[in-house]
Amino acid sequence: MSHQQQGGPVQSSFAPQVPAHTPSPDATHSPFARVDSSQRITFSDMARLAGRPQTSTHRSLQFDEMYAVPESFLEIEVRNPLTHGVGRKMYTDYELVCMTNIPAFKVQHSIVRRRYSDFEAFRDILERESTRVNIPPLPGKVFTNRFTDDVIEQRREGLQRFLEIVAGHPLLQTGSKVLCAFLQDPSWDKAQWI
């Protein structure tokens, strides 16, 4: 007969089976051993045993230190692709959102739009400007079906990866004038840099 037919409790097959008898002193170290409520350890007991102060300010200092704003940061997001024009004059541009506290940048938050040909020019200029840094390749050119949602999303992801690598390089973050302009200047013109 099952437990349910006898009127006993229904037990999950995944629940740990706890012995019905009182455990021996050696069994209290088992994770399944029954613990008398008078033997429970509190947070302050654990802190005391670990030799740490028991105040809540100690925890908030650690939290503040762990989640403080980094000394310098540069975050870039490539998003919201838009396709413009018709026929042979169609092109897609992408919104670049930049947030930073690096002094080389003019503003801490900016949003600009760039098309793929802008990225190509930017990469060429960056390569000439920064001979000590290996500039990664852009995602490849697409000649057919380039305005489908899948192709546009793949390109957006590739441009995101490209900018993360470039903007993550410390020499470029602080020493590249074209990086700052490309990410923040709404009237960026590649002709000014050639």
b/e for 37-55, b at 16 or more Cβ within 10 A?
eeeeeeeeeeeeeeeeeee
Residues 128-140: pLDDT tens digits? Answer: 998 888 999 999 8
CB 93 within 8 A of CB 114: yes
The domain 74-192 having CATH identifier 3.30.1520.10: the answer here is: yes
State the pLDDT at residue 48.
54
Sign of the four-CA dihedral 96, 97, 100, 103: positive
State the pLDDT at residue 125.
96
For residue 16, pLDDT beyond 60: no
Mean pLDDT of 85-111: 93
Domain extents in the chain? 74-192
For residue 2, pLDDT beyond 50: no
Residues 20-72: pLDDT tens digits? Answer: 444 444 444 444 444 444 455 554 554 455 555 555 445 555 665 556 656 78
CB 133 within 8 A of CB 171: yes
φ and ψ of 188, to 5 deg:
-55, 130
Amino acid at 171: L
Task: Quote the mean pLDDT of the chain.
Answer: 77
For residue 163, pLDDT beyond 50: yes
CB 82 within 8 A of CB 93: yes
SS3 74: strand
Q: What is the DSSP letter of 29?
A: G
Percent of the chain with pLDDT over 70: 64
State the pLDDT at residue 68.
60
